[in-house]
Structure 1
Amino acid sequence: MKSLTATLLVIAAAVVGVIAESHTVSFTNNCGYGTPTLIQGGNVLSTGGAYTSNGPLGAAIAYLQTGGCGFNGEGCTMVELSLYNPDTNNGMISSADVTLIPPHAFSVTSGFGYYNGCDGVGNDCSEAVQCRQR
């Protein structure tokens, strides 16, 4: 079993009512340093605390700011995510991935998981080679 020694992004998607939609992004930082950061459209949504979107959360990024990351996660391991309830967004689906595409680079163990709908689905990257293979 893999041991996460850095940061884990936990994505929780919950449907409230028939039409309402909400998604919560929370962080578990096992590094003992750095600041988990969630950004969407150039706006910082969270620097460590849980963030709840009362609607779709599209084109967001998350990373552990260790002091060497650019504002958009440049130079660091980054998670890209879009969270949608397909019943209220014309069939759009949630997606997330760990990216090392330049200018991003492996910096810390990172991962994500879905809860309250797709339990057990996610990805953990504990080394650069593993992240590239997925």
Structure 2
Amino acid sequence: MFSTLKCALFTAVLAVAAGQALAESHTVTFDNRCGRGTPTLISQTGQVLSTGGGYTINGPLRGAIAYLQTGSCGFNGDGCTLVEITLVNPTTAGSGSSVDLSLIPPHSFSVTTGFGYVGACAPAGADCNNANCNTAFHQPSDTFVQVACQQNDANLVVSFI
């Protein structure tokens, strides 16, 4: 009897945990006030996820990139201001979402670019309006520019001005 109860309890805990994992959802939207270009969101595996419309994923979004394709950006945002995006529900302290701007070559300043979390982590975010902004990575050790969100279901707005 005790082992049957233990097995049932374990199965119930797994079912609840699986339901919570399936409930994870994140949305990335764009606000293009630049008057030109195509907002672009690309997955870690090189799949184009959006060319301007909102993108929602039911689960984590790891290692995505966003930029404004003005005709001079490479497929991976080369030559342009890059937003690096990981949206994931935290499972331990410090393991949640992290977003940053990057100007590490081959990326370079192209247009004023920013991002902001929507919801529980608002108004956390960053903007970069020139090639020397202190809110973007210029070298890999600039980890202080990462903006974290330790809340479930973090959503993001990426803006171009």
User: Which bin holds the TM-score, normalised by the shorter protein?
Assistant: 0.7 to 0.9
Give TM-score scaled by structure 1 length.
0.81
Higher helix share: 2
Distance 1:86 1:35, change over 3 A: same
Which of the two has greater strand per residue?
1
State the AA in 2 paired with 1:77. T
- Counterpart of 1:32 in structure 2 is 35
Please provide the CA RMSD for this pair: 2.0
Q: Could you say which residue in structure 2 is the equivalent of 1:86? A: 90
- CA deviation after TM superposition for structure 1 residue 18, in Å: 4.4
Q: How far apart, in 2, do the equivalents of 1:114 and 1:45 lie? A: 19
Letter in 1 for 2:129: S
Aligned equivalent of 1:50, options 47, 51, 54: 54
| 1:47, distance to aligned residue in structure 2 (A) | 0.1
CA drift at 1:92? 2.5
1:102-125 CA-to-partner distances (Å, cap 9, x unmatched) read 000000000110111201100011
Gaps of 5+ in 1: 1-16
Q: Find out whether 1:106 has 2:109 as its counterpart.
A: yes
**Among the aligned pairs, what percent are the same residue?**
62
Pairwise CA distance, 1:101: 0.1
Structure 2 unaligned segments of length 5 or more: list them: 1-18, 146-161
How far 1:91 sits from its partner (Å)?
6.4
Partners of 2:67 and 2:94 in 1: how far apart? Answer: 28
Q: Once the two structures are superposed, what CA deviation does each residue of 1:8-60 show, in whole Å capped at 9, x if it has no partner?
A: xxxxxxxxx84411000000001111000000010000000000011000000
Number of matched residues?
A: 117
User: Between Structure 1 and Structure 2, whose CA radius of gyration is higher?
Assistant: 2
Stretches (4+) displaced over 6 A: none
SS in 2 for 1:128: coil
2:63 paired with 1:59: yes
